[in-house]
Amino acid sequence: MIGADWEITKRCNQRCSFCLNNSGPEHRDILTTDDCFRIVDQLVEIGVFHVVITGGEPFVRPDIAEVLIYAASKNLIWTVTSNGSALTDSLIDKLSPIRSHFRSIQISLHALDAVTYEGYEISPTDLAASKANIIKLVKAGFVTTVICLFKGDNEAGVLEVYDWCSGHGVDGFISSQIKSSGRAIDSFSQFGSEKAKWIQLLSALYDKKNESVGPDLLISEPALFQKYANKRAGVDLIKYSCPAGTDTLMIKGNGDVYPCPFISEDCSGSIVAQEFRAGNIRESSLQQLMRTQAFARFNSNVESAQIFKGGVDQKCVSCGEHKAGNCRPCQLAKSDCHDSVRATTDFLRQKTFRIATVR
């Protein structure tokens, strides 16, 4: 096992309409500090060295510094995904001595002004805090990446965020499209983007990077592009395959363990979740859970894409047939209908982007 995704809490100080995970202020922290310490120990025991720590919002946990300091003592490294608004000066100071264990802190920043942010259901106060904390993280020496959502009609806004990041020394920049998962299923039509607009944005970002010393441009979830790249370009453009169930797993905020981050009840519906829930880490060890039938079924069926039958019924906006909430690598390998992915692959053939695995 190389890595793990860990939803350390489902609680969040925001409630975005496009949240992949149905997170929000109404949830509470279920895993105790001792639970978190045991999870760290078990991750180390099974050979994990990199953890993607997600939420909810990880920095709303009052013990987050304590947990990360303990993880650092076990020589783990991690990427933390955050909206940035819950960070405090005190917390940054506590984490600074272990900043070498942060592969990156990935902060969501989808616009620079409060008016634009109204469509994302994020308060002006939280927006101001996120921007201020990005600057503080950079100054404190943390590797800092900004994630900016592209929803089809906000190319100018995304480019403004990139320019802002360039001016403040941000290390990496990710513009991602919405995934039909969690609460985003209901807002998929609102936030989805079209092929031509998506490729136009990628081109504009690439030009900006060439014109100035700005943040590295990162492409998320490269497994989406691998088989199309090999098929259409005739070369191994991206050597990457989905690590779910073999090289990585998912620990949810209540302790439930799944082979993949996108097959919990929040993301794929209760039918899929029941079939592939391995158990709970508070009741069994990770080694025991990885030997369950849930992992065996997932690993034997993932290439056939049969595991999502009966799951999310949100249709692909491109072809109207394939379920948009299903496993991206599996369904895309079987269909030529996903125009935005094909267009992205064609674009990547001609340009150079760094590859990042982003949830």
Q: What is the pLDDT of residues 85-140, one digit of tens each?
A: 999 999 999 999 999 999 999 999 999 987 766 666 678 889 999 999 999 999 99
Furthest C-alpha separation in the chain: 54
Contacts of 8 by beta carbon, 8 Å cutoff, 6+ apart: 31, 36, 53, 54, 55, 56, 58, 61, 64, 67, 253
So what's the pLDDT on residue 288?
94
Q: pLDDT tens digits, residue range 170-191? A: 999 998 877 666 777 676 666 5
Least confident of 46-55, 186-195, 206-215, 304-313: 304-313
Tell me which of 130 and 342 has the higher pLDDT. Answer: 130
Work out the average pLDDT over 312-326.
Answer: 43
| CB neighbour list of residue 108: distance below 8 Å, 6 or more residues apart | 81, 82, 83, 84, 130, 146, 147, 148, 149
Q: Could you tell me the two tokens for 265?
A: 């009840």
CA–CA distance, 15 with 11 (Å, rounded to integer) = 10
Mean pLDDT of 138-155: 91
In angstroms, the CA 164 to CA 104 distance is 19
275 vs 262: CA distance, rounded Å: 13
pLDDT tens-digit map of 243-257: 677 778 999 999 999
Alpha helices in the chain (DSSP H): 33-45, 64-73, 89-95, 114-117, 124-140, 155-167, 188-191, 195-211, 223-233, 265-268, 270-276, 286-290, 293-301, 328-333, 339-350
Question: How far, in Å, CA of 39 to CA of 75, rounded?
Answer: 14
Segment 141-150 shows an average pLDDT of: 94
